[in-house]
Structure 1
Amino acid sequence: MPVQYILGEWDFQGLNLKMVPPVFIPRPETEELVEWVLEEVAQRPSEVKAQDGPLILEVGCGSGAIALSLLSQLPKSQVIAVDKEEAAVSLTQENAQRLQLQDRIRIIRLDITSDKCRTHLLPWGPMDLVVSNPPYVFHKDMEQLAPEICSYEDLVALDGGDEGMDVITHILTLAPQLLNASGSIFLEVDPRHPELVSSWLQSQPDLHLSLVGVREDFCGRPRFLHIQKSVPSVAAL
Structure 2
Amino acid sequence: MRSLPVSFSRILFNFLKPHAPIKIGPASKLHQSTLMKQRSSIELPMPTDLVSYWQGVFEAEGVPEAQTSIEYIVSYVLEAKTFQSLRAEHLSKPVTEQQLHQVEELSAWRLNRMPIQYVIGEWDFLDLTLIMRPPVFIPRPETEELVVLVIEEFQRKVKPGGAEHRDLAVAEASQCPMILEVGCGSGAISLSLLKKFPKVNSRVVAVDKEEAAVSLTRDNATRLQLQDRITILQHDILTNHNFLLRHNLVDIIVSNPPYIFKDDIASLAPEILSYEDPVALDGGEDGMQIIIGILSATPHLLKSYGDVFLEVDPRHPEMVAQWLQIHPDLDLSLIATHKDFCGKPRFLHLRKGKVPGSSARD
The TM-score by the shorter chain falls in which range?
A: over 0.9
Does 1:35 find its partner at 2:148?
Answer: yes
Equivalent residues of 1:112, 1:167 under 8 A apart:
no
Matches of residues 17-36 of structure 1 in structure 2 within 5 Å? 17-36=130-149
Bigger Rg over Cα: 2
Pairing partner for 1:122 from 245, 254, 259: 245
**Partner of residue 198, structure 2:** 75
Q: Is residue 2:321 matched to residue 1:198?
A: yes
Corresponding position: 1:4 with 2:127: no
Q: Which residue of 1 aligns with 2:294?
A: 171
CA deviation vs aligned residue, 1:8-33 (integer Å, no higher than 9, x gap): 00000110000000000000000000
Are 2:215 and 1:102 aligned? no
Contact 1:82–1:89 under 8 Å retained in 2: yes
| Structure-to-structure mapping, 1:40-189, within 5 angstroms | 40-43=153-156, 44-46=158-160, 47=168, 48-50=170-172, 52-76=175-199, 77-114=202-239, 117-189=240-312
> Offset of 1:50 from its aligned partner?
4.4
Which string of whole-angstrom CA distances, capped at 9 and with x for unpartnered residues, describes residues 88-136 of structure 1? 000000000000000100000001221xx22211121211000000000
Higher relative contact order, structure no. (Cα contacts within 8 Å, ≥ 6 residues apart): 1
Deviations 1:5-59 (A, max 9, x none): 0110000011000000000000000000000000012111345444551100000
Q: What is the alpha-carbon distance in structure 2 between the residues aligned to residue 84 and residue 35 of structure 1?
A: 25
* Structure number with higher strand proportion: 1
Question: Is the contact between residue 333 and residue 355 of structure 2 (CA under 8 Å) also seen in structure 1?
Answer: no
AA at the equivalent of 2:149: W
Aligned mates of 1:177, 1:60 — CA distance in 2: 18
C-alpha distance in 2 between matches for 1:60 and 1:213: 22
Name the aligned partner's letter for residue 111 of structure 1.
D
Runs of 4+ off more than 4 Å:
49-52
| Alpha-carbon separation, structure 2, partners of 1:14 and 1:204 | 39
Equivalent pair of 1:181/1:231 in contact (CA under 8 Å):
no
What CA distance in whole angstroms lies between the structure 1 residues aligned with 2:154 and 2:291? Answer: 22
- Aligned CA RMSD, in angstroms, stands at 1.4
Shift of 1:232: 9.6
User: Take 1:38 and 1:147, find their aligned partners in 2: how far apart are those partners?
Assistant: 34
Structure (1 or 2) with the greater helix fraction: 2
Number of residues of Structure 1 aligned to a counterpart in Structure 2:
231
Distance 2:228 2:282 in 1: 32
Residue identity opposite 1:97 in structure 2? T
1: distance between equivalents of 2:298 and 2:236?
A: 14
Structure 2 Cα separation of the partners of residues 232 and 122 of structure 1? 25
The answer for the alignment partner of 2:37 in structure 1 is none
2:103 — aligned with what?
A: none
**Aligned letter for 2:123?**
W
**Partner of 2:283: helix, strand, or coil?**
coil
Structure 2 distance, partners of 1:206, 1:197, is 15
> Aligned residues: percent identity?
61
AA matched with 1:157: A
